[in-house]
Structure formats: C-alpha cells, structure tokens
C-alpha cells in the first residue's frame, strides 16, 4: 500500500530527541533519504527529528550505497548507461566515488560484480531501519545490535522471495496512537499483520513488524533487499 500521510498520536516523549544519538534535535530528516528516490518526490514523505550532526553524518555512506546499487543493477560503471538521472549527476560530479566503485568491481561469467564496503552498507541499512521503527512504531532503538542480512534481490529464488515478501503475524500490538496502529489488518482471516508500504514505485518499499522482536524489511531499487531484526 502507499505510504500516505498519517498523524502520530502516540507518546510524544519518544520523539523529543534525535532519532540516532538521543541528543537534542534541531532539524528533521526524510526517511528514506531522497538519494534513494527520484523526482518528483512523493507527497508526505516520512520525516523524523534528528540533530544536525546525525542529519549529515550518514550522507556520504548513503550516496555510496545508492550509486553502488545503480551500477550493480545496470551492470555497468559507464555513467551514460545508468538509468537514474540523479545517480548519473552524482557520479559525474564525484569522479573519486565513481573510481572507488569501479575499482571494487570484477567480471564474473559476463556479469559485473562488486565487492561492497560492508560496514558502509550496514551503517545505512541500520539507520534506515531505526528510522522506520521510530516513524511507524514510535519506538527508539539505540544500543541494541541487530541481526542484519542483505542480498541482491534479483538473484533470490522464487520460494525465498515469496517468504521475504509474505505478511507475517504481528505478535504484539503497537503503541496506541502510533502510525503502525492505523495500518494493522487481518491476514487469512485469522492473524494480525502489517502491510508493505511503498514510498515510491520501483524505488523503495518497506515492512515493519513485531514478532519476537522488531523487524524491518526493505527493498531498494528492486535490487537490494535487507532484513534488520532486533531480537527481544
């Protein structure tokens, strides 16, 4: 379903500080960041509160991840053969980033493969997951270490893709008044669940859930799929 605009009527004490460092906030940030989306941007993009340092602290890694995904999906480091205009522009103005991504590539059976900088990818995916949990569940997560996995979604077998995209049981009701509460539905006439939310078609979608812990699944550019799980 489309993300749409939904008021957060849950406990405001959970949102009175930076989403990432628990410090005093002074700005706001879109979640997901616009680097993963195309113009014209969707209306009512999710927004969370952050401090200035955290707001800009992820930008370099997010830019790297967005460009890496585009090069991998298009199977090229040739700027003219990429699809997303914003990524073409970014790499045209950042030859060092283009070189860094290009130097991490190898040809394997005719396909261009990349050795991703795992720490940077993980940094971005955890940041996105924490932002979605705050926006949807009104839940701040700081020191907990998640279980995190990501992969090339185009190479996932059909059975595994079906499992990843399936709705699952919601085992604990969200806080009254939070955005997730307004999205709870009934699946197969018997279990409570939350839907996939589409921020922009073919660019970004995600699912949040609680089942033995907080879970976030994200698909970026229909290429990179990830799962971030905070176990109780």
Q: 152: which residues sit within 8 A by CB, 6+ positions away?
A: 72, 223, 224, 225
SS3 216: strand
pLDDT of the residue at 119:
97
Gap between the Cα atoms of 200 and 205, Å rounded: 7
pLDDT of the residue at 38:
97
DSSP 69-129: HHHHHHT---GGG-S-HHHHHHHHS-HHHHHHHHHTEEEETTEEEE---HHHHHHHHHHHH
pLDDT one digit per residue (tens) for the chain, 232 residues: 878 777 887 777 777 789 898 888 889 999 999 999 999 999 889 999 999 999 899 999 999 999 999 999 999 999 999 999 999 999 999 999 999 999 999 988 878 899 999 999 999 999 999 999 999 999 888 778 999 999 999 999 999 999 999 999 999 999 999 999 999 998 777 789 999 999 999 999 999 999 999 999 999 999 999 999 999 8
- A 10 A CB-CB count for 142 gives 9
Gap between the Cα atoms of 84 and 113, Å rounded: 19
- A 10 A CB-CB count for 220 gives 25
């Amino acid at each position: 379903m489309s993300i749409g605009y939904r008021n957060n009527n849950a406990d405001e004490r959970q949102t009175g500080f930076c989403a990432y460092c628990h410090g005093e906030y002074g700005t706001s940030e879109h979640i997901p960041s616009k680097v993963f989306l195309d113009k014209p941007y969707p209306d009512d993009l999710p927004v969370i509160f952050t401090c200035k340092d955290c707001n800009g602290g992820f930008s370099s890694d997010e830019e790297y991840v967005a460009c890496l995904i585009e090069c991998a999906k298009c199977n090229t480091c040739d700027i003219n053969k990429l699809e997303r205009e914003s990524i073409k522009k970014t790499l045209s103005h950042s030859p060092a980033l283009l070189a860094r991504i290009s130097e991490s590539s190898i040809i394997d059976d005719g396909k261009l493969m990349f050795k991703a900088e795992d720490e940077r990818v993980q940094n971005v995916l955890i940041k996105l997951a924490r932002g979605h949990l705050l926006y949807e569940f009104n839940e701040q997560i700081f020191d907990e270490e998640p279980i995190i996995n990501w992969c090339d979604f185009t190479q996932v077998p059909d059975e595994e893709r079906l499992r990843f995209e399936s709705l699952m049981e919601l085992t604990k009701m969200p806080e009254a008044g939070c955005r997730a509460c307004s999205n709870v539905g009934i699946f197969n006439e018997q279990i409570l669940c939350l839907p996939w939310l589409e921020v922009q078609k073919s660019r970004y979608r995600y699912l949040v859930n609680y089942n033995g812990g907080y879970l976030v699944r994200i698909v970026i550019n229909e290429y990179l799929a990830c799962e971030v799980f905070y176990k109780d």
